[in-house]
Chains A and B, each alone.
Chain A
Amino acid sequence: GAGVSQSPSNKVTEKGKDVELRCDPISGHTALYWYRQSLGQGLEFLIYFQGNSAPDKSGLPSDRFSAERTGGSVSTLTIQRTQQEDSAVYLCASFKTSGPGTQYFGPGTRLTVL
C-alpha cells in the first residue's frame, strides 16, 4: 500500500475488556513503532520492532500491554483488561533503518474506554 494503515480507526470498549489494534506498515520497511498520544500530550513511546531482533518493550506502561509483529510485517498491539487511563490515540509508524530513518505514521486508532 501507499502508506501505513491502522485499524480500527475508532474503538470504544468497556473497562475490563481486551482490545486488539492493528498496524499494516509500508512494504519493505524493516522497523515499526507503536506510540500513544493522550489528549493534549506528546508522543509516548511504547514498543519498537526491528527486523528479527528482540523488540524494545521498554515503553510499555504495564504488563497488560503486549505487541507482536508477524512475519516482519503486520503488528498487533493488545491491551488486556482495559482501564479508563488507556484511552488515547495509538499511533503506529514504520521506517527503513537506512538513511535518515524517516518514520511514516499511520492515522492512528482512537481508543475510548468507558
Chain B
Amino acid sequence: GEDVEQSLFLSVREGDSSVINCTYTDSSSTYLYWYKQEPGAGLQLLTYIFSNMDMKQDQRLTVLLNKKDKHLSLRIADTQTGDSAIYFCAQGGGGNKLTFGTGTQLKVEL
C-alpha cells in the first residue's frame, strides 16, 4: 500500500538551513507536495514538484526529488522563527487520493 514516512522532529538555529526528509512508496505518484501547519491552523500548501522533475526552487525553498530512492526533501534556507511549524510531505495528485506523512515538527531556536 501507499506509505509516506518522515522523521518526527527537527531543531535548527535561526539563520541556518533546515532539511526535512521524506520517503514514499508509490512510484506512480504524479506529484509530491509539501504542506506547512502552524499551531492551531489548517494545512497550507508550500510547494509541489512534478514527478518528472529533480529539483524545484521557490525563494528560500528548495525541493529535491530522487525517484530512484523514492526520497523527497525540503530545504529551507536562512530559517526564521516564523518557519517553526509542522511540515507534511504528501504523494499522489492528478485526481488520485493523496497520502500524507506523519509530519515533521520544525523548531527554530534563537
Give A residues with C-beta under 8 Å from B: 4, 31, 33, 35, 41-43, 45, 48, 50, 56, 91, 93, 97-98, 100-108
Q: Give the interface size class of chain B.
A: 20 to 34
Query: Can you list 19 A-B contacts with CB-CB less than 8 angstroms, sorted by A residue number?
Result: A33-B98, A41-B102, A43-B88, A50-B95, A56-B97, A91-B43, A100-B93, A101-B30, A101-B92, A101-B93, A101-B98, A102-B33, A103-B43, A103-B98, A105-B42, A105-B43, A105-B44, A106-B42, A108-B42
Tell me how far the C-beta of A26 lies from the nearest C-beta in chain B, rounded to whole angstroms: 13
Are the CB atoms of B97 and A45 closer together than 8 Å? yes
Q: Which A residue sits closest to B100, measured CB to CB? A: A43
Chain A residues with Cβ below 8 Å from B103 are 42-43
CA distance A50 to B96 in the complex (A): 10
